[in-house]
Structure 1
Amino acid sequence: MSAFQDIIQRETGLQRHLTAPQMAMIAIGGAIGTGLFLGSGFAISFAGPSVIISYAIGALISLLLMGCLAEMTVAHPTSGSFGAYAEHYIGPWAGFLVRYAYWACVVLAVGTEVTAVGVYMGYWYPEVPQWMWVLLFSSLLIGVNTLSVKAFGAVEYAFSAIKIAAIVAFILIGAYVVFGSRPAGIGFENYTAHGGFFPKGLWGTWVAVIIAIFSYLSIEMIAVAAGEAKDPERAITSAFRSTMIRLVVFYLLTVALMLAIVPWTAAGTDKSPFVKVMEIIGIPGAAGVINFVVLVAALSAMNSQLYITTRMMFSLSRAGHAPAALGRVNPRGVPMGALVLSCSGVAIATLLSLWQPEQSFLLMMAVSMFGAMFTWFMIFVTHLFFRRRWVAQGNAPLAFRMAGFPVLTLLGAGLMLAAMVSTLWTDVFRLTLLTGVPFLAVLGVVYAIWYRPGRIATDKPSVAMQRTG
């Protein structure tokens, strides 16, 4: 098997302009989006107040995942990231499956974000069809992604700063209302007032873990962004730690306060639970402000996801697993062909918004879940292979090292596998496995027929031919 340096050399052409603060914001931008602001409403409806436990379990899985991914990324910072690691440490077939499953998943996740944009805009303009907002905001963000990675980083930093400021303000206001003024009907008694803390039983709590995982999805994109970081080792170590602390605090505190203010039975999906909280509190104009913030959050997540799908398709092309045109970069270091193809999720979202506007978000979330879960599972599996070979080769200790190996790595893999299998016994997420497993089987057949190792060696284009003028 070739040295990993061959993969890094193969993926040259991108520009290293992202700073450590920008990388942290990119990860937060992807993870604090629809999953928290709108998806939390779905999670609450499945679990009731025990959704706090669901998000805590999701946070644990995320922490374990980021520990494994941080160690591998410090060793090998490249845009192919976990797909490249699977290719090198397990086999080319594993890299092929992981990259394509993840790319398809995030392309559909882009659709969930832009679908949510239509829901949020409906707060102000209920008479305007959702698909019009889908097209408008999609065009703007696709335009941002055609610029250099430096411009993308600046825009994403601004988006995420707005979200963080709003969430901090929400936590402060919510804490004051719950612990200070305590109006009638608001307080921790809401945790048990409507059927108890586990109104849907332990199964409902576990089903909500699936949505929690979807909410945390995109924290892994910071590893992909490492391929365009100025000082990868320092930026990755710092960004991973700060990102995980912020995400866990933001998710758990906001959900805990939300449930104390809004009875779980009122946390629907017609609008963001955050908006409902502000309506209940009664701060003049606050609900409109929060709706603006959650709109920015969805746009930020979509922006990050367009970036990440573009880089993943770029990596597939450079590996010889996609047409060579998708691996070419323009003078600004942007893989334009990969970007255009990665916009297909927007087209799917537009069609679903026209066909079934009320169900489009749930449909796209259910179908995209498989790629996310499979990728996270494979990151844990890849880490098992990585650590054993890294030690066997006598390499020096890394600046970041996952603790508790192999027990914690195996725990993460086991929890992810259990979550994947559980989707088959849920009404909403049954499509996850029913569409995901056949898709994975098709990818396996495609690899066996067209991309077996001997053929890749003769068909793969040279790096010198992969830049456009």
Structure 2
Amino acid sequence: MADFHDIQRRETGLQQHLTSAQMVMIAIGGAVGTGLFMGSAFAIGFAGPAVLVSYAIGAFIALLLIGCLGEMTVAHPTSGSFGAYAEYYLGPLAGFVVRYAYWAALVLAVGMEVTAVGIYMAYWFPQVPQWIWVGVFSALLIGINLRSVKVYGAAEYLFSAIKVAAIVAFVLIGSYVVFGARIPGIGLENYQLGGGFWAKGLWGMWLGVIVAMFSYLGVEAIAVAAGEAQHPQQAVQRAMKTTVLRLVLFYLLTLALMLAIVPWTEAATQTSPFVRVMEIIDIPYAAGVLNFVVLVAALSAMNSQLYTTSRMMFSLARAGHAPARFGQTNASGVPVAAILVSSLGAAVAMVINAFWPEQSFMWMMSIAMFGAMFAWFMVFVTHLAFRRRRDREGADRVPFRMWGFPWLTLLGATLMGAVLLTTLFTPAFRLTLVFGLPWLLVLTLVYWRLHRR
């Protein structure tokens, strides 16, 4: 079998301009979006206050993934990332299926994030059709991605910095309101309303894990961005070690405070529960400011996902699995054609928003979920093959190493498989496997057809 350096040489042409600080913000940008600010409402509806346990389980799975993916990325930094690793350690079919499944998932996730943008803009302009905002903001972010990776990194850093500052401010204000202000109707006693902490039982808590997992999807963007990092090994190690901790604090602290301020039965609505918190606290203009923040969060996540999915298409083209023009870059090192074809999700979102604005967000989330979760599952499977092969060949140890191998890697694969299987028994997410399994079959048949030719 060819050396992995052949894959890395095949994927040259992109420019290495991203700093380690930008790498961290890219991961946060992808993972702190509508999953926190809007998706949490769906998770609360499933789990009640036990949604905190749901997000803790999701964070644990994300931590295991970061360990496995971090070790492989430090050993082989390249834009094809886990798709290239699956190709090398599991076989060409695995690399083909993982990359296309993930690419399609993020194409739809781009559409889901921009769908949320339309919902947030309706807070200020309820009379304007949502699909108009979808078109306007899609054009803006596609333009940013077409400039250069340096412009993209700077924009994502700014977007994510706004989100981080807003979340820190929310935690400080929320902590004062819950523990210092002693306002009637606000406090930890809200956890006991509507049936108590376990109001929805263990099954409801586990259903909340589905949304929690979707919320954390995006941390893998660090590995994809490694191919355009200035010092990939050092940048990846720093980013991997700090990102999960920040995400856990952001999600668990904000949700814990939110549920103490807003009874969970009120938080489980289609509008952002964070905006509802500010309306209850009644700080002047705070709800409008926070709506701006959640708007930026959705734009940031969309920006990060558009970047990641375009690089996955670039990798597919360089591997000969997509038209060659998608693997071409301009003078600035930007894969223009790959970005444009990866923007299809925004067009799909415009159509769905025009005809089914009420159902659009949930439909896009449930369909987009499959490919990303499947890619996470395959990261664990690939890591098993990666470590065993390197140990068998006596390869040098990498400085970033997954702990508890093979048991924690196997645990991660088992948990991801269980989450995927659970979607089949959840009406809200039944589209996940109903769409995903036939899509895997189609990809396999297409690969065999291409391979025969």
In the TM superposition, 1:171-320 aligns within 5 A as 171-320=171-320
One-letter amino acid of the counterpart of residue 413, structure 2: A
In the TM superposition, 1:72-221 aligns within 5 A as 72-221=72-221
Partner of 2:61: 61
Alignment deviations for residues 110-155 of structure 1 (CA, whole Å, 9 cap, x no partner): 0110000011001111111100100000010000000110111001
Write the distance in 1 (CA, Å) between the matches of 2:38 and 2:210: 15
Write the distance in 2 (CA, Å) between the matches of 1:417 and 1:178: 38
Partner of 1:465: none
Write the distance in 2 (CA, Å) between the matches of 1:285 and 1:338: 41
Runs of 5+ consecutive residues of structure 1 not aligned to the other structure: 456-469
Q: CA deviation at 1:270?
A: 3.2
The answer on whether the counterparts of 1:178 and 1:257 sit within 8 Å (CA) in structure 2 is yes
Write the distance in 2 (CA, Å) between the matches of 1:50 and 1:269: 17
Write the distance in 2 (CA, Å) between the matches of 1:451 and 1:276: 54
Alignment deviations for residues 37-66 of structure 1 (CA, whole Å, 9 cap, x no partner): 000011001110000000000000000000
Write the distance in 2 (CA, Å) between the matches of 1:269 and 1:366: 17
Partner of 1:440: 440
- State TM-score, norm by structure 1: 0.96
Alignment deviations for residues 437-463 of structure 1 (CA, whole Å, 9 cap, x no partner): 0000000000011135xx5xxxxxxxx
Q: CA deviation at 1:267?
A: 1.2
User: Secondary structure of the equivalent of 2:195?
Assistant: coil
Write the distance in 1 (CA, Å) between the matches of 2:10 and 2:293: 40
Write the distance in 1 (CA, Å) between the matches of 2:384 and 2:376: 13
Partner of 2:382: 382
One-letter amino acid of the counterpart of residue 237, structure 2: T
Write the distance in 2 (CA, Å) between the matches of 1:450 and 1:375: 22
Q: CA deviation at 1:394?
A: 1.0
The answer on whether the counterparts of 2:78 and 2:224 sit within 8 Å (CA) in structure 1 is yes
Write the distance in 2 (CA, Å) between the matches of 1:101 and 1:152: 24
The answer on whether the counterparts of 1:162 and 1:293 sit within 8 Å (CA) in structure 2 is yes
Q: CA deviation at 1:176?
A: 0.5
Write the distance in 1 (CA, Å) between the matches of 2:327 and 2:416: 31
Partner of 2:336: 336
RMSD: 0.7
User: Secondary structure of the equivalent of 1:146?
Assistant: helix
Write the distance in 1 (CA, Å) between the matches of 2:306 and 2:424: 29
Partner of 1:15: 15
One-letter amino acid of the counterpart of residue 159, structure 2: F
One-letter amino acid of the counterpart of residue 103, structure 2: W
Percent sequence identity is 67
Write the distance in 2 (CA, Å) between the matches of 1:392 and 1:75: 16
The answer on whether the counterparts of 2:178 and 2:260 sit within 8 Å (CA) in structure 1 is yes
Partner of 1:395: 395
User: Secondary structure of the equivalent of 2:101?
Assistant: helix
The answer on whether the counterparts of 1:119 and 1:270 sit within 8 Å (CA) in structure 2 is no
Q: Name the count of aligned residue pairs.
A: 453
The answer on whether the counterparts of 1:47 and 1:200 sit within 8 Å (CA) in structure 2 is yes
Write the distance in 2 (CA, Å) between the matches of 1:348 and 1:267: 29
Write the distance in 1 (CA, Å) between the matches of 2:377 and 2:270: 32
Write the distance in 1 (CA, Å) between the matches of 2:109 and 2:23: 20
The answer on whether the counterparts of 2:381 and 2:413 sit within 8 Å (CA) in structure 1 is yes
The answer on whether the counterparts of 2:42 and 2:270 sit within 8 Å (CA) in structure 1 is no
Write the distance in 2 (CA, Å) between the matches of 1:449 and 1:202: 45
User: Secondary structure of the equivalent of 1:18?
Assistant: coil
- State TM-score, norm by structure 2: 0.99
Partner of 1:462: none
One-letter amino acid of the counterpart of residue 398, structure 1: V
The answer on whether the counterparts of 1:321 and 1:451 sit within 8 Å (CA) in structure 2 is no
Runs of 5+ consecutive residues of structure 2 not aligned to the other structure: none
Write the distance in 2 (CA, Å) between the matches of 1:316 and 1:396: 28
The answer on whether the counterparts of 2:41 and 2:270 sit within 8 Å (CA) in structure 1 is no
Write the distance in 2 (CA, Å) between the matches of 1:369 and 1:32: 16
One-letter amino acid of the counterpart of residue 280, structure 1: I
Write the distance in 2 (CA, Å) between the matches of 1:143 and 1:268: 35
Write the distance in 2 (CA, Å) between the matches of 1:93 and 1:273: 43
Q: CA deviation at 1:182?
A: 2.1
Write the distance in 2 (CA, Å) between the matches of 1:441 and 1:199: 39
Write the distance in 2 (CA, Å) between the matches of 1:211 and 1:372: 13
Partner of 1:365: 365
Partner of 2:414: 414
Write the distance in 2 (CA, Å) between the matches of 1:246 and 1:151: 24
Q: CA deviation at 1:391?
A: 1.2
